[in-house]
Structure formats: C-alpha cells, structure tokens
C-alpha cells in the first residue's frame, strides 16, 4: 500500500510516528483516504500554472473613528505546481481605502489532493498609511461532494504609521463554501482577529452564457465588533484551463488566504480602521 507521498510501505510493519511531523503525516494520510475511493495522491495539487485578476469596489464603515467611505482595488494571483503533490500561490493587490493608499501581498505553499483536501502554510504583509502588518499561519481544507470546509490559525504583528497602528495577537477562523451548482459558490466565515470577532458571507458566479469562459462575478459583505460593516462587489477573470468554478477552486487557484487584516489597522489613539473583520479588500 502506498502512503500519500507514493512511498512503499508494508501493511504488516507500520512506521511509528510521533511529534509534530507524525501528526502532520497522519493528517495528510487521512485527507488522502477521504477521496471517495479515488487515487487522490495520483492527482496533481495544481493542474497547471494559472492565475486570476479582479477589480472590486465597495463601502466600509467603522463607528470608532475609522474609515467611513468607499474603496476600490485591483488584485491578482498566480499559482504554480511544485511537483505532483504540492503547489505555490502568490497574491498581490493595491487600492485606495477612504483616500488612503493600501498595498498587500502573500504567499501560500500547500499540499493538496483535488478529491480530498489541502494542508498548507502561508505568510502575508500589507501597508496602510505607512504602517506595516505581517502575518504567518497554517490552513487546512476538506473537500466533500458539493461542500468545502476550511480553517486557519496564525499570528500577526506590525508597527505604527503616520496615523494608524497595528494590533498584535492570535488570528483564527473557520469557513465553508457550498456549491448548489459547480458554477455557483456560496461562502461564509467566522473568526477571531487579534482580539476582535468577525463574520462574513459572499457569492461567486461563473456564467455559461458568455464566450469569456474565465469570467465570474462576486459579492461579499460582513461585519465585526464595534458595529463595523463592509460590502463589496466585483468582476474576476481566471487564466487557465476551461473548467467549472468548483474545479478551479480545487484544482487550480486555491481559495483565499485569510485576508482579514484591514480592520486590524487602528487609528493612533482611536478605534479600528476598516469595515467588518474578514473583508476581502486584497486577494480572494
């Protein structure tokens, strides 16, 4: 019998595992076996090099003297295979949030079986009004027939800029994506970002009535503590093989990093900058 990495193993002499490496190996093995009897490990983590770009805009409000205005941003992602079982995703985005320049980027290295799930590590950094924020963490996903369940955990830190500063602390969240059809996704998430809870939901639709097969439309909204709110919408274009939206999410570009950092910028001596926790102002 082969393990998820293709190494031969005798069924009569199991290899003992202990410590963090052993736990990680068992998690990967469990995800691989969850592939409904299919040879999950034989499928590529990333079908081929691919990417996506989008343009988004919306409105954010924070009661505690933060943002109370519109924003517009452009974002992009590039994903490449690293051998058969691993992949690397790079994200970046720039925009203007209530007249302040915003820029950010991230990287996500992962193991994935398209029929079972994903395990990965990620890092990201962003800037708003000369303040800088950094995050590191891990993420996991489980793929069922028409559902994807995910979760992440990590830590964030930063510094003080001209008018804003950054909270330090633990971040964590859980999320789910349901696919009523393979080209329509309904998303929801809740989490904890350095001392503040958030919740969000959204939709993404890839229409079949256009010759632009990589085109999709999306919308997201949510909020958090201190009556923070946000709403956004946009258009996205995927570069890569022609396939359904669900297959794009599981075979090409993975779902978003936990991009919930914008509300963690705080006005110096005041409240949060940004809308509700979990807003998607940079790559989704």
**Could you tell me the pTM of the whole model?**
0.76
Q: CA separation (Å) from 263 to 46, 111, 219, 228, 273? A: 32, 30, 19, 9, 5
Residue 276 lies in a domain: no
148 in the same domain as 103: yes
Confidence of residue 22 (pLDDT cuts 50, 70, 90): low
Q: For residue 149, what are the domain limits? A: 50-267
Domain count of the chain?
A: 2
Confidence of residue 99 (pLDDT cuts 50, 70, 90): confident
68 in the same domain as 6: no
- Low-confidence winner among 84-88, 178-182, 263-267, 273-277 (lowest mean pLDDT): 273-277
Classified as helix, coil or strand, 267 is strand
Is 257 exposed, middle or buried, given 0-12, 13-18 or 19+ CB atoms closer than 10 A?
Answer: buried
**Residue 156 sits in a domain of what CATH number?**
2.40.160.40
Q: What is the pLDDT of residues 39-73, one digit of tens each?
A: 433 489 999 999 999 999 888 776 554 556 778 88
Residue 283 lies in a domain: no
Residue 199 clears pLDDT 50, i.e. is over it? yes
Residue 273 lies in a domain: no
12 in the same domain as 82: no
Best CA proximity match to 180, nearest among 212, 211, 203: 203
111 in the same domain as 7: no
15 in the same domain as 117: no
* pLDDT (0 to 100) of residue 163: 62
196 in the same domain as 144: yes
233 in the same domain as 140: yes
143 in the same domain as 246: yes
Residue 161 lies in a domain: yes
Residue 43 lies in a domain: no
What is the C-alpha separation between 34 and 204, in angstroms, rounded? Answer: 26
Residue 272 lies in a domain: no
């Amino acid at each position: 019998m082969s393990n998820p990495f293709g190494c031969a193993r005798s069924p009569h002499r199991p290899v003992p595992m202990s410590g963090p490496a052993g736990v990680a190996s068992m998690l990967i093995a469990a995800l691989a076996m969850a592939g409904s009897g299919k040879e999950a490990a034989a499928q590529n983590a990333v079908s081929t090099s691919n990417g996506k770009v989008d343009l988004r805009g919306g409105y954010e409000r924070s009661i505690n003297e933060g943002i109370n205005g519109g924003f517009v941003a452009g974002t992009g992602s590039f994903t490449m295979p690293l051998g058969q079982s691993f992949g690397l995703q790079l994200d970046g985005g720039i925009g203007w949030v209530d007249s302040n320049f915003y820029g950010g980027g991230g990287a996500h290295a992962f193991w994935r079986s398209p029929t079972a799930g994903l395990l990965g590590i990620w890092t990201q950094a962003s800037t708003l009004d000369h303040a800088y924020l950094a995050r590191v963490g891990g993420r996991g996903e489980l793929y069922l027939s028409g559902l994807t369940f995910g979760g992440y955990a990590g830590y964030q830190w930063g510094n003080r800029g001209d008018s804003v500063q950054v909270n330090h602390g633990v971040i964590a969240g859980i999320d789910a994506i349901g696919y009523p059809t393979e080209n329509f996704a309904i998303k929801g998430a809740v989490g904890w970002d350095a001392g503040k809870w958030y919740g969000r939901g959204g939709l993404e639709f890839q229409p079949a009535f256009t010759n632009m097969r990589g085109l999709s439309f999306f919308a997201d909204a949510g909020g958090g503590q201190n009556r923070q709110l946000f709403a956004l919408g946009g258009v996205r274009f995927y570069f890569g093989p022609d396939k359904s939206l669900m297959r794009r999410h599981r075979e090409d570009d993975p779902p978003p990093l936990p991009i919930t950092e914008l509300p963690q910028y705080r006005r110096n001596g005041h409240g949060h900058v940004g809308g509700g926790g979990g807003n998607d102002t940079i790559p989704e």
